[in-house]
Amino acid sequence: MPTAFAIAAHPDDIEFLMAGTLLLLRDAGWKIDYMNIANGCCGSTEWSAPHTAEIRAREALAAADLAGAEFHPSLVNDLEIFYDDGTLKRLSAVVREVAPQIILTHAPADYMEDHTNACRLAVSAAFTRGMPNYPTDPPRDPVGGPVTIYHAQPHGNRDPLGNPVRPQIYVDITRVMAEKTAMLACHKSQKQWLDTSQGMDSYLDAMTGLSREVGQLSGCYEYAEGWRRHLHFGFCGENDDPLRNALTTQTVAAGAPGS
């Protein structure tokens, strides 16, 4: 069974940006894995960091269970996702355990550093998967085979300087929007936090609006998630595109008729 691995920064990032595509891959017969590198401990104005991390771990596990995804625990606290040797070795061990054919992760540049660094770590962990001289923590044997990395849209479909970012691939998530919304609703603690910290009103409505905006960019879908494919060097074949091959009837490339 082929495997797709969603690697995000914080609990609820997968639900905002990647869950629709992950659910469709599940329905296409793929095993799906779910991981947030940070534990969400800063996502509250009411509770202590340790208590917040406990709450958010339970919420993330509930969302993963709802999707039928294998859950992998977080590695660090919020705002401690650094591109450093220790974190890379730990994430590389998980990537070797999962041995995915697809990795879904953040955009290379996003509005906050946790997202950007999570992307960098995911890419490097994939790159080191087959290197016997790269030690992981805990030690894991290297794995072979291709892996194709896809980058989600940055928050608000803009880079950190406000420039629009358009996907290369649009995935029609209209059919699974109710399930994607139910996954995000598992993160009940985030309604108050997002209202206070980012003015997002209802976080469920915010996610729906972002998905609708990407659908409008596609020119043909009501709700969509957008993706850009990482260069193939060191990862996969030049023409490998397992996401589009798996979701043939639910994807359109930028510039295709109707997009």
Q: Which domain holds residue 199?
A: 3-253
Distance CA 10, CA 238 (A): 31
How far is the CA of 129 from the CAs of 1, 135, 141, 190, in angstroms? Answer: 19, 10, 9, 34
Q: Is residue 152 part of a domain?
A: yes
φ, ψ (nearest 5 deg) of residue 198: -130, 0
Please report the pLDDT score of residue 190 as a whole number: 77
**Cβ proximity of 20 and 115 under 8 Å:** no
Q: Does residue 13 belong to any structural domain of this protein?
A: yes
Nearest Cα neighbor of 99 from 139, 128, 137, 64 is 128
Token pair of 123 as six digits: 């890419």
| Cα→Cα distances 219→141, 152, 216, 229, Å | 45, 18, 5, 20
- Structure pTM? 0.95
Residue 160 maps to a domain = yes
In whole angstroms, give the CA distance from residue 121 to residue 123. 5
Q: In what order do the strands lie in the sheet with 102-105?
A: 70-72, 31-36, 3-8, 102-105, 148-152, 224-229, 169-172, 251-253
pLDDT at 81: 98
CATH number (domain holding residue 67)? 3.40.50.10320
What Rg, from alpha-carbon coordinates, does the chain have?
A: 17
Stated as kind and residue range, the H or E segment containing 171 is: strand 169-172
Cβ atoms of 175 and 224 closer than 8 Å: no
Does 258 map to a domain? no
pLDDT at residue 208, as a whole number:
95
Residue 196: predicted pLDDT? 61
Q: What angle do CA 62, 82, 166 make, to 5 degrees?
A: 70
Look at residue 259 and tell me if it is in a domain.
no
The phi, psi pair for 148, rounded to 5°, reads -110, 130
- List the beta bridge partners of residue 148: 102
What is the per-residue pLDDT for 35? 98
Residue 85 falls inside a structural domain = yes
Q: Tell me which residue of 54, 30, 28 sits closest to 41, measured CA to CA.
A: 54
* 123 within a domain of the structure (yes/no): yes
pLDDT digit of tens for each residue in the chain (259 aa)? Answer: 999 999 999 999 999 999 999 999 999 999 999 999 999 999 888 889 999 999 999 999 999 999 999 999 999 999 999 999 999 999 999 999 999 999 999 999 999 999 999 999 999 999 999 999 999 999 999 999 999 999 999 999 999 999 999 999 999 999 999 999 999 999 988 766 665 655 555 788 889 999 999 999 999 999 999 999 999 999 999 999 999 999 999 999 986 655 5
Count of domains for the chain: 1
